């Protein structure tokens, strides 16, 4: 009996301690802080309703939209320019679409589809390699919307050739203009590329005619405009900029009876 009792004691003594609770670990040691959410660089240039949720609402609002978008996307793929930028972003109309009672997105008429091909090639070959990924914020505008939004009378947006876009990587306005101007000087004529700059980091590319406009004074000497009298009707004026940017303000005219200038409407290009 004593031998059996000793054996039982040894068995209990050697049993694993798996049933014992593990020591608690402070939650601060096991929970990492969530990564910061990066801001969308293009958000400031997009009106409510022209964002991705707005596109989904527009897409589902009419069964014909799905048919038109697919046909347009297939056309871009067949021309080997699909995926350079998201197709749905190319369908954004004018920033002033709501004020003009227009649609936030619109598929261009099929007759205008060829006009975007060379523009996308230029974006692929000479814009993205210089400034990185870009996001289109305005593409095709039908003539009524273009007029209401203050677009140039012969704007390339009316023909589906133009894309206004913004860079998605950090860059200053001066570097943006200088970088795109340099490559446009060398390569733009081969694509009939038009290059223009508006407020902040918004810029315009089309493939209607080789021309350049709205250079900042800071880069004017290194990046002169290429505008001829015949081009004026196709070139939009600069969008309003922040008041603290003195270089964007033209000097006041000399007048014996100075008057306060009238406010000008904000054009869309």
Residue of 89, 94, 78, 172 lying closest to 123 (CA atoms): 89
33: pLDDT confidence band, cut at 50, 70 and 90? very low
Q: Token digits for 209?
A: 């005619």
- Per-residue model confidence (pLDDT) at position 36: 44
Per-residue pLDDT tens over the stretch 1-26 = 444 444 444 444 444 433 333 333 33
Per-residue pLDDT tens over the stretch 239-267 = 544 333 333 333 344 344 444 344 344 44
Q: What percent of the chain has pLDDT over 90?
A: 60
**Distances from the Cα of 263 to the Cα of 11, 76, 144, 240, angstroms:** 95, 41, 23, 11
- Per-residue model confidence (pLDDT) at position 229: 63
Buried b / exposed e over 200-218, threshold 16 CB at 10 Å, is ebbbbbbbbbbbbbbbbee
- Per-residue model confidence (pLDDT) at position 92: 98
Range in 59-73, 153-167, 249-263 with the lowest mean pLDDT: 249-263
Measured between alpha carbons, how far is 202 from 265 in angstroms, rounded to an integer?
A: 18
Any idea where the domains of the chain sit in the sequence?
41-235
34: pLDDT confidence band, cut at 50, 70 and 90? very low
CB 168 within 8 A of CB 123: no
- Per-residue model confidence (pLDDT) at position 225: 82
CB 189 within 8 A of CB 267: no
Q: What percent of the chain has pLDDT over 70?
A: 70
- Per-residue model confidence (pLDDT) at position 241: 45
Highest mean pLDDT among 103-112, 196-205, 208-217: 103-112
Measured between alpha carbons, how far is 229 from 213 in angstroms, rounded to an integer?
A: 12
Name the more confident of 241 and 235: 235
Side-chain half-sphere exposure of 257, counting CA atoms within 13 A: 0
Q: What is the value of pTM for the model shown?
A: 0.73
CATH architecture of 41-235: 2-Layer Sandwich (3.30)
| 187 pLDDT more than 70 | yes
- Per-residue model confidence (pLDDT) at position 40: 82
| 30 pLDDT more than 70 | no
- Per-residue model confidence (pLDDT) at position 20: 36
Residue of 151, 147, 149, 234 lying closest to 192 (CA atoms): 234
């Amino acid at each position: 009996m004593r031998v059996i009792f000793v054996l039982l004691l040894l068995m209990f003594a050697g049993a694993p301690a798996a049933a014992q609770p593990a020591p608690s670990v402070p939650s601060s040691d096991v929970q990492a802080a969530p990564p910061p959410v990066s801001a969308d660089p293009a958000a400031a240039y997009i009106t409510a309703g022209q964002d991705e949720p707005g596109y989904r609402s527009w897409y589902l609002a009419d069964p014909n939209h799905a048919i038109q978008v697919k046909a347009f996307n297939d056309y871009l793929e067949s021309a080997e320019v699909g995926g350079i930028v998201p197709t749905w972003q190319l369908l954004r109309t004018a920033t002033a679409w709501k004020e003009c009672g227009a649609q936030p997105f619109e598929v261009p008429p099929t007759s205008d589809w060829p006009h975007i091909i060379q523009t996308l090639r230029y974006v692929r070959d000479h814009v993205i390699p210089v400034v990185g990924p870009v996001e289109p914020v305005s593409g095709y505008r039908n003539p009524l919307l273009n007029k209401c939004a203050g677009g140039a009378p012969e704007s390339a947006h009316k023909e589906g050739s133009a894309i206004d876009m913004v860079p998605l990587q950090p860059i200053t306005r001066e570097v943006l203009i200088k970088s795109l101007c340099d490559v446009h000087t060398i390569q733009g004529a081969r694509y009939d590329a038009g290059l223009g700059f508006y407020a902040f980091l918004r810029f315009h590319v089309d493939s209607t005619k080789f021309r350049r406009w709205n250079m900042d004074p800071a880069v004017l000497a290194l990046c002169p405009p290429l505008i001829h009298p015949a081009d004026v009707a196709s070139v939009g004026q600069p969008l309003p900029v922040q008041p603290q940017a003195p270089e964007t303000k033209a000097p006041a005219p000399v007048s014996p009876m100075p008057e306060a200038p009238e406010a000008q409407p904000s054009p869309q290009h």
